[in-house]
Amino acid sequence: MGHPFGPSYANPFELNTPIANGTSAYTAGDAVGALLTIDAPSPVSTGDAGPQALVNSLVLIDTENKKPALDVLFFDQAPTDPGDNAAFAPSAADAAKLVGMISIATTDWKTFGSRAFVSLGALAKSMQYSGHTLYALVVIQSTPTYSGSSALRLKLSGITT
């Protein structure tokens, strides 16, 4: 029998998507863009416990070099989507769906030319979820104003077991 994270027991997943941000000023605690759906099918039946997702890396690209502090929240079921530039104030039911979070500080960003980048690797962020889908929501913790509607791009990669 192979290792539980070996090739026969793991499926890779990735998300590479622009975030449809607005062009009005954000307030700390606002959602950026809409709720994101991550197709993350488990390779094995895990019974009542549900499958595990292991997020290995996260890359963010900011084409306007704003370098915001933000959190990427992960949910095992779809929470109520607050919509872009609206406060994320989860109900008790939505809060119970949270299975993980990755925080980005303003100091995590690096600028090359006129664009800013964050690259976090070797995260090994493990999350239990149900079904074949994880959900993610980006919540800003600073107050940028973007001039374009797709200034941010999010890339995630990992495996499911």
Confidence at residue 96, expressed as pLDDT on a 0 to 100 scale: 95
In a domain, 6, yes or no: no
CA distances from 67 to 86, 95, 103, 111 (A): 20, 27, 13, 9
In a domain, 1, yes or no: no
Segment among 33-42, 52-61, 77-86 with least mean pLDDT = 33-42
117 pLDDT higher than 50: yes
Domain containing 68 equals: 13-160
- Looking at residue 3, what is its pLDDT? 44
Task: Assess if residue 79 is contained within a domain.
Answer: yes
Average pLDDT over residues 133-140: 93
- How confident is the model over 9-20, as pLDDT tens digits? 678 888 899 999
Which CATH number covers residue 118? 2.60.120
